[in-house]
Structure 1
Amino acid sequence: MEARTETVTVADGTFDLHLWLPESGRGPVVLLIQEVWGVGPYIRKVAEDLAGLGYVVGAPDLFWRLRRNWVADHDEAGLAASMKVASEFDVPHGVSDSALALAHLKGLPEAEGGAAAVGFCLGGSIAYLLAATTEVDAVLSFYGSAVPDAAGLMEKITSPVLFVFGGSDPYIPREQVAKVEEAAAGRPDIEMHVAEQAGHAFHNHEAPQFYDPEAAPVAWDRAVGFLRRHLG
C-alpha cells in the first residue's frame, strides 16, 4: 500500500496531510479526522483499512498550530496530555483546515468519484460541523461530543450522515444522544447506530480502557456498508 505526506497551505502556515492510496491507485476520497491522540497508530490503522476497501484516504494534522504532528500513547498519561492539547484547540480552525484538506484530496490525480468525511471523537464533532458548511457525499461521525448541543445544525446538512454513539458513554450521556436521535427523526438520509452497552471511543483498539471487542466490529460493518452505498 502506497503512503505519502502532502502539504496543505493555509493563510497562517502549512500542515501535513497524511495520505494512503488503495491498491488500484485511484478511488473515491475519504477525509479521516483524528481523535485527541493525533494521527497515531489507531488512525493510521483505520486509514489502512479504508484504503484496503478502495478509498484514497487523507488524515490531516489538525493540532499543527499547537503541537505539530502530535501523537500520544493510548494510556492514562497520554490521554491526559492529549486532553490538555485538545483544550487549547480552536474548533473553527479545525473545521476550516478540514475543509481545505478535503479540497486538496479532491484535487489529487488519484481522486476518482465522490468524497466522504469520517471522524472519531474530536474528529466526529468536526466531521459533523464540516458537513454543515461543505458539501460531501457521506459523513461518518463517531461519538462526537459536540454533536448533541449542535443538533440544530442538522437542518443545514444535505449529505447522508451516519452517527455512531455508545449508549453507556460517560462523556456523552444517553440523554444527549437522544437529542441527536430526535433531530434525525424523519430524515431518511440520516442514520443512527447506538451501541447501548458500549462507552466512548469503543472502536479504538489501541486504547484498552475504551475498546469494546463486541460493539466495535458491528459498528464498523455498519460504517463500511454506509460508505459502500454512498461512495461505491
Structure 2
Amino acid sequence: MAGTYITIDAPGGGQFRAYLAEPRGKKGKAPGIVLCQEIFGINAYVRETADYYAEEGYVVLAPDLFWRMEPGVDMGYSPEEWQRAFGFFQKFDVDQGIEDVRATVKALRARADCSGKVGVLGHCLGGKLAYLTAARVDVDAAVGYYGVGIEAALDEAKNIKCPTVLHFAELDQYCGNEARDQIYAALKDRPEIELYTYPGVDHAFARTMGDHYDKPSSIMAHSRSIAVFRKAIGPRYDLSGLWDQHCYHEFATRDVAATMKTMVDEPYVNHIPTMTGGVGAKELARFYQHHFVNANPADTKLIPISRTIGADRVVDEMLFCFTHDREIDWMLPGVKPTGKYVEIPLVAIVCFRGDKLYNEHIYWDQASVLVQIGLLDPKNLPTAGAETAKKLLDEKLPSNTLMQRWAESAGK
C-alpha cells in the first residue's frame, strides 16, 4: 500500500474515510479520480487500483461507501466474505452513496495538489456508481467496469454530459445479454459515451486478485480508460519525446543508469522472438548492463519508418541495421560473430505509466536475421533475407516472390 487515509465530511453530518493515493515525485497540480469500490469495501484490490492510477499521474480518492453500515469494510473473496459482501450490497442505499461520492469529488477538487479536473472510476457496484455519478454529479469524465444494474437507470442517461466509457463482460452473469442489449440500445448513439464488450470473459475480468481475471481484456480496457481520462482531464505527456530519450541512452550514451531512470520502478522488456529481456528493475538492469546496451554492434543504426502515439503507448516501426561483429545476446544468443551486415524490420510497442516506460514488446522476423547471417538456407523455405527491409522502403518491389502458386492466378 503506497497511499494513506484521509477523512471527508459527509453530507448531513458525520465523516467517512477515503484511501488517498498520490503520484510520486509530482510537480504542480494533477487531475483527480474518485475510485468507487466493489462490494468488498476498500480492500487490497481497490487500494492496488488507486496506487496504479496514481502511478499514471492522478490524485486518487477511494471513499468508504459502506461507512454508514460498517466503517472500514475490507474483505477478500472467500465464500464467507462473498456472502457478507452481498449482505452489504443488498442494504446499500445507492442514492446516499452518490451523495458521498459527490462529497468526495468536492473534497478532491479542494485539495491543493488537484488541478480541479476530476473523473470517476468504478468496478462492479462501483461501475454503476460511476455511471450514476456521470448523470448526477459535476465530473469531467467517467469510466465504469461491468456495472451491475445500469439497465434499471437508463432514464438518467439523458443527464450525462461528460465523456463516459462503460466496459462489459460477454459472460457476465450479473449483467447478462438482455441487460447489456438494453444498455447498448439506449446509449450506442450517444457520441460522448463509449461502450465496449470483451468476448469470452466473465464479471470482474479486471480484478487482478479474482478467479475471473483476464489479462488481455484488462490491458485493453485500461488503455481505453486512460485514453478518455487523458483527453478529458489530463495529464498529457510527450510520450514520443520520452521514448526518444530512452532510446538515446540505450544506443547513443549507452548509459544503463540513465536508461533505467526513464522507466517505472518495476518495468519489463520482452524481445518476443528470442524471449530475452528482464522483468523487474534488478533483472532488467542486469540485462541492459551485460547483455544489451553494451552488446550492440558499433555501427548499430535505427531508421524510423513510422510512429503511432496513443494515450498510453507508442508503436514504432523501424529498420534495425548492424554488422554482426560481436555476439548479440538479445537477438542472436550463442551465435559467434559472422561479420555479416543485417537490415531487419523491427516493431516496438512501448507502454507507459504516467511519464515513465512500463514495458516494451519488441518484434522482428528472426528467420530473416538467420538468413542474412548465413545460418538459415532460404531455399524451399517461405522466408527472405534483406529483401524484407528493402521492400519495406520500396513497396514497388515485387510482391509474392515466395508464392510458387502466384503465377496460377494471373488473369483470373
Work out the CA distance in 1 between the residues paired with 2:210 and 2:50: 17
Which of 205, 214, 220 is the equivalent residue of 2:216?
A: 214
What is the root-mean-square deviation of aligned Cα atoms in Å? 1.4
Q: Residue 89 of structure 2 is aligned with which of 83, 86, 103?
A: 86
TM-score if structure 1 supplies the norm length? 0.95
Alpha-carbon distance change, 152 to 5 in structure 1, aligned in 2, over 3 angstroms? same
Deviation, structure 1 residue 104: 0.4
1:64 to 54, 57, 67: 67
Letter in 2 for 1:14: Q
Deviations for 1:205-230, whole angstroms, at most 9, x for unmatched residues?
1112x222332221112111221121
Displacement of 1:149 after TM fit? 1.6
Residue in 1 that maps onto 2:188 = 185
State the distance in 2 between where 1:211 and 1:75 align: 16
Structure 1's unaligned 5+ residue stretches are none
Moved more, 164-173 or 75-84: 75-84
Percent of residue pairs identical: 30
Aligned CA distance change for structure 1 residues 69 and 102 (closer, same or farther; 3 Å): same
Report whether the alignment pairs 1:231 with 2:209. no
Aligned to 2:150: 147
Tell me if 1:204 matches 2:207: yes
- Please name the residue that 2:21 is paired with: 20
Structure 2 length as normaliser, TM-score? 0.54
Aligned to 1:6: 6
1:31-70 to structure 2, matched below 5 A, reads 31-70=34-73
Contact in 2 for aligned 1:167/1:198 (Cα 8 Å): yes
- Bigger mean CA deviation after superposition, 141-150 or 30-39: 141-150
- Measured after TM superposition, the shift of residue 113 of structure 1 is 4.4
Bigger mean CA deviation after superposition, 147-156 or 58-67: 147-156
Asked if structure 2 preserves the Cα contact closer than 8 Å seen for 1:5 and 1:17, the reply is yes
Q: Which protein has the larger Cα radius of gyration, Structure 1 or Structure 2?
A: 2
Contact 2:133 2:139 in 1 (8 A): no
Consecutive unaligned residues of structure 2, counting only runs of 5 or more, are 235-412
The C-alpha deviation readout for 1:93-117, integer Å capped at 9, x for no partner, is 1010000011000100110141100
Bigger RCO (CA 8 Å, 6+ sep):
1
Alignment size in residue pairs:
231
Match of 2:108 in 1: 105
Report the Cα offset of residue 152 of structure 1: 2.0
